[in-house]
Amino acid sequence: MRQALLHCISFIPGHPSALMSVVGHAPPPFFKRGPAPLVRLAFFASLSILLLIADLRFHTLEWARLAVTTAAWPLQRAAWLPIDAAENFSEYFVRVSTLQKENEVMHRHQLEAAHLLLRQQHLEDENRRLRTLLDLRARQPVSGQVAEIIYAARDPFSRRVILNKGTQQGIQSGQAVIDDMGVIGQVTRAFPLTAEVTLLTDKQQMIPVQVQRNGLRAVLAGAGDNLELRFLATNAEVQPGDILVTSGLDDVYLPGLPVATVTHIDRNTAFTFARILCTPRAALDQHSLVLVLAPRTGQPPRPEETATPPDAPAKRIRRGAH
């Protein structure tokens, strides 16, 4: 009876015997702490440093990096899909709106120039008849071939570009080169598969021009980055904004091709000629496709220069004296 009573008392909470029985049992594995945090920090830091050194010196983790990149690529693409879809969606509407506006502008310009296009053939026929009646030489038709600028010449003291066509395609030295805005330059050297074009802005390039507004003739010379209209008096009738076109006096360029626009005029009376700066009409450093014009043919030969003896005027004077 006494033993049964002691056994029941041992299970009463707070009784010393109950506490002893609880303390006597080992804690469950869930509450085991293991190594100290500093020990684990030092171990993993050392392991990271060893892996970094091994990968830097021996590239031991290259296969792991490749495997991780390959495995993560589908996840990256899946993560970027919504962003790409949103960007494509917005760009689509922007392109559609831009194309619609450009189409409207082009249609408006076409309508504005319709009367010119309708009358062009009539004017050409009338001009041909008038030249026949006046017994004038017919204008030379414009022809040429398209070429591509492949690179610029590596010469800091000249302005030249290289075309992807040469003598095998019919390119010859002296042909004029233009784009959709104006004259670019002249073919100075032709090779079997390439050709060298000297730009208008080259310091050794000169071209005869005339002012489109009043027909004033002058010589346009290259000045590095721009052009300079030379040999014009300080009181010459030239204004900023005047358009210069080819005069055709050099038998190289067809007359009427746009060349440059007058931008600055310095009329200093201390000098004989005015200093007139111009900007090329053509996009010399932008376009990659140009048109190489065919050489001018059918030009009348130049008259031969007759040399006058130095003593001829003196003889005439003596004859008059007699």
In degrees and rounded to multiples of 5, residue 261 shows phi and psi of -125, 130
User: Residue 167 falls within a domain, yes or no?
Assistant: yes
Q: Which of 63-77, 129-143, 184-198 has the highest mean pLDDT?
A: 184-198
User: Residue 217 falls within a domain, yes or no?
Assistant: yes
Instruction: Name the residue range of residue 253's domain.
Output: 144-293
**Mind listing the pLDDT tens digit for each residue in 163-181?**
999 999 999 999 999 988 8
Domain CATH code at residue 169: 2.40.10.340
User: Residue 273 falls within a domain, yes or no?
Assistant: yes
Distance CA 42, CA 138 (A): 96
User: In which band, very low, low, confident or very high, does the pLDDT at 239 lie, cut at 50, 70 and 90?
Assistant: very high
Cα 131 to Cα 125, 135, 136, 154, 253: the distances in Å are: 10, 6, 5, 48, 22
User: Residue 59 falls within a domain, yes or no?
Assistant: no
Which token pair is 224?
A: 């590095």
Could you give the number of structural domains in the chain? 1
User: In which band, very low, low, confident or very high, does the pLDDT at 55 lie, cut at 50, 70 and 90?
Assistant: confident
User: Residue 201 falls within a domain, yes or no?
Assistant: yes
User: Residue 135 falls within a domain, yes or no?
Assistant: no
Which token pair is 59?
A: 């590239």
Reference 197, options 184, 208, 182; nearest CA is: 184
User: Residue 18 falls within a domain, yes or no?
Assistant: no
**Mind listing the pLDDT tens digit for each residue in 261-294?**
999 999 888 888 999 999 999 888 777 889 999 8
User: Residue 91 falls within a domain, yes or no?
Assistant: no
**pLDDT score recorded for residue 23:** 45
**Mind listing the pLDDT tens digit for each residue in 85-140?**
888 887 888 888 888 888 888 877 877 776 677 677 777 777 777 777 666 555 55
